[in-house]
Amino acid sequence: MEEKKENLFKRMFVTRTQGFIDISKKRAFWKDLSDEQNGTFNVKHTVSRDLESLVLKIPYKKYIIEFTESDTHPLKINCELGVNDKFEFFISYEDTLEKLLKFFGNQDIQIGDEVFDKKYLIQGEKSDMIKQLLMKEDIKAILLSNNVFSYNCIYNKKKETVQLTSLVSRTVNSKSELSELFKLFCLTIDEIEKSGILT
């Protein structure tokens, strides 16, 4: 009876990102990356202990890059940066809806790479800065090879910050893949820093 309840509960969380996935198998390589990068790693559970989430925080320069994933939610990566000027970008898979919006005038930025431009819808202000960022081969390669379906830099005028945030499919199953995503954030921070807008 208890097993039936558990299976019913797991089936309730079917989403576009593969629904329920037991992430306990990922603990070891999350901890390895944490140790390697002098980060902090925590495992959290719901009160009933039937759902688990992993939280990894890694320092980079004066910032903290935070990774979270749970049994029911995909991998999310965040980093808040102080800025002295507005800068935003929104990068997402170019699916049927985006193609339709584009047809009706929703403009996107093209970087001149046919594979990348076909896969991603890119929007934002300061298109030259965004193009410069995305033309970096390492950044482009990491986005393309790691099923990153959303990568955004969102400006908060009140706090004078930008929030770098990414959602990644549920297929990150090794330390090397997680390390690549950490590298993506580090490279992005480095490029934004070169622009002189970070405080």
Mean pLDDT of the chain: 86
Q: How many helices (H) and strands (E) does the chain have?
A: 7, 8
Q: Taking the model in full, what pTM does it have? A: 0.84
Q: For residues 73 and 36, which has the higher predicted lDDT (pLDDT)?
A: 36
DSSP the chain: -HHHHHHHHHHTT--TT-S---GGGGHHHHHHHHHHTT-EEEEEE-TTS--EEEEEEEEETTEEEEEEEESSS-EEEEEEEEBSS---EEEEE--HHHHHHHHTT------S-HHHHHHEEEEES-HHHHHHHHTSHHHHHHHHHTTEEEEEEEEETTTTEEEEEEEE-TT--SHHHHHHHHHHHHHHHHHHHHTT-B-
Name the pLDDT band for 100 (thresholds 50, 70, 90): low
Tokens representing 161 are 């910050």
3 state DSSP class of 182: helix
- Mean predicted confidence (pLDDT) in 28-46: 96
Q: What is the pLDDT of residue 118?
A: 86
Comparing 29-33, 44-48, 75-79, the range with the smallest average pLDDT is 44-48
Query: Does the pLDDT value for residue 142 go beyond 50?
Result: yes
Q: What is the pLDDT of residue 14?
A: 34
Q: What is the pLDDT of residue 5?
A: 39
DSSP 89-112: EEEEE--HHHHHHHHTT------S
